[in-house]
């Protein structure tokens, strides 16, 4: 399965390159970097800190997609819409692992999914997918008197807050309660510290090299239920992305999720 990797020079991109070397089912055929990147012309394997792969980093997106059976996008959020349009034009399925997508970009991905298969997965960890399912079920089973709070922590260089995974966990909790997250979410309690019934709060911590930690609290009277996931190795996301990309290649146009990949 031939992959065009968009955003090869970033943390996630380099991790995917390193892990793809150990996966005999996949082949990196293109590594795309931004036009102004110092990585242009460098072998993708060397970029990832390993032996050369024979694939030079390029900023020519159209050429990169020409031989690919699927694309993985780990670029910045403001680049995703243009990358998706290029994938649609080249008839290449697209896995988007970027977080912090705008509403406009999300709508463009929905439109493009009518032409090619699109899977948006801010977090490709299998463990996180299972946690999301558990959170939804817990929200269904526990009484509304249990307050829901989500706390996430990441490294100091992460750009968006709360994380895409925290929002996905919030969506799962809201679905379990039968409400829309947009109607009950609270990101900042600085202006209003008192908690209102039914809220789903989210708090973010940024520091050091934390790979990613997410904990969902169901706080009741006299008891606290927590569901948590901690990532200690960025490789789990890379391996999950490669698995999802392999699953997505050859799929009919449409919108897919990581749940489809693992059969939840």
Catalytic residues: 154, 158
Pairing of strands 70-73, 200-206: unpaired
E strand or H helix that includes residue 2: strand 2-6
CA distance 114 to 109: 9
Counting other chains too, the contacts that 45-48 makes at CB distance below 8 Å and 24 or more residues apart are 45/17, 45/21, 47/8, 47/9, 47/14, 47/17, 48/14, 48/15, 48/17, 48/18, 48/21
Beta bridge partners, 226, equal: 217
Among 124, 93, 59, 108, smallest CA distance to 257 is for: 124
């Amino acid at each position: 399965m031939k992959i065009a990797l968009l955003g090869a020079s970033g943390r996630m991109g380099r991790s995917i390159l390193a892990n793809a070397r150990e996966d005999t089912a996949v082949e990196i055929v293109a590594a795309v970097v931004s036009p102004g990147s110092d990585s242009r012309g460098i072998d993708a394997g060397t970029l990832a800190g390993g032996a050369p792969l024979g694939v030079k980093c390029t900023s020519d997106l159209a050429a990169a997609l020409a031989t690919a059976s699927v694309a993985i996008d780990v670029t910045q959020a403001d680049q995703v819409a243009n990358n998706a349009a290029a994938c649609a034009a080249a008839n290449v399925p697209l896995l988007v692992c970027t977080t912090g997508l705008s509403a406009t970009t999300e709508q463009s991905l929905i439109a493009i999914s009518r032409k090619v298969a699109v899977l948006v997965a801010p977090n490709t960890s299998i463990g996180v997918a299972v946690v999301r399912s558990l959170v939804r079920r817990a929200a269904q089973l526990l009484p509304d008197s249990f307050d829901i709070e989500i706390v996430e922590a990441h490294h100091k260089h992460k750009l968006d807050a709360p994380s895409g995974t925290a929002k996905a966990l919030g969506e799962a909790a809201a679905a379990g309660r039968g409400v829309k997250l947009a109607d009950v979410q609270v990101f900042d309690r600085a202006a209003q510290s008192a908690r209102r019934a039914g809220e789903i709060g989210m708090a973010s911590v940024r520091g050091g090299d934390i790979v990613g930690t997410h904990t969902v609290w169901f706080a009741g009277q006299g008891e606290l239920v927590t569901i948590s996931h901690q990532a200690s190795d960025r490789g789990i996301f890379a391996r999950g992305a490669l698995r999802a990309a392999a699953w997505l290649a050859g799929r009919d146009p449409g919108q897919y999720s990581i749940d489809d990949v693992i059969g939840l």
